[in-house]
Amino acid sequence: MVVDGLTDAEVDRVFQALADSTRRDILSHAIRQEQSVSTLAGRYAMSFAAVQKHVTVLERAQLVTKQRRGREQIVSANRPRLTQAAALIDEFERIWVERVGRIDDILTAQKGTPS
């Protein structure tokens, strides 16, 4: 399934990245304001290396970008990819709403059919 320019592998990486609450929280902070990995690491009860791994998963999914500024690595939200991810989720919502509507139609038709 290719949605809004995303391949199946890219879709998998986006959902894998968003499947973890720490990564969603890191992404939320990066959306509000770019932050250093060190600043992000200070927010969590885990090692710097663990936070760095979470950032790497987000980066592989292209949900964030990382840029070196001096000794710091700055994490920023990748807004175009976030827009694609939102479109992907909207497409799945549309599919499920359509399916629920069909189920409702079937149940309504069955109520009108004598047993």
pLDDT, position 68: 95
Q: List the domain boundaries for the chain.
A: 8-112
Architecture of domain 8-112: Orthogonal Bundle (1.10)
Mean pLDDT of the chain: 92
| CA separation for the pair 14, 10 (Å, rounded) | 6
* 50, two tokens: 């663990």
**What share of the chain in percent tops pLDDT 90?**
76
pLDDT, position 111: 84
User: What are the pLDDT digits (tens) for 33-79?
Assistant: 999 999 999 999 999 999 999 999 999 999 999 999 999 999 999 99
Residue 5: pLDDT above 90?
Answer: no
Q: Which helix (H) or strand (E) holds 73?
A: strand 72-77
**What share of the chain in percent tops pLDDT 70?**
94
Residue 13: pLDDT above 60?
Answer: yes
φ and ψ at 42, to 5 degrees? -65, -15
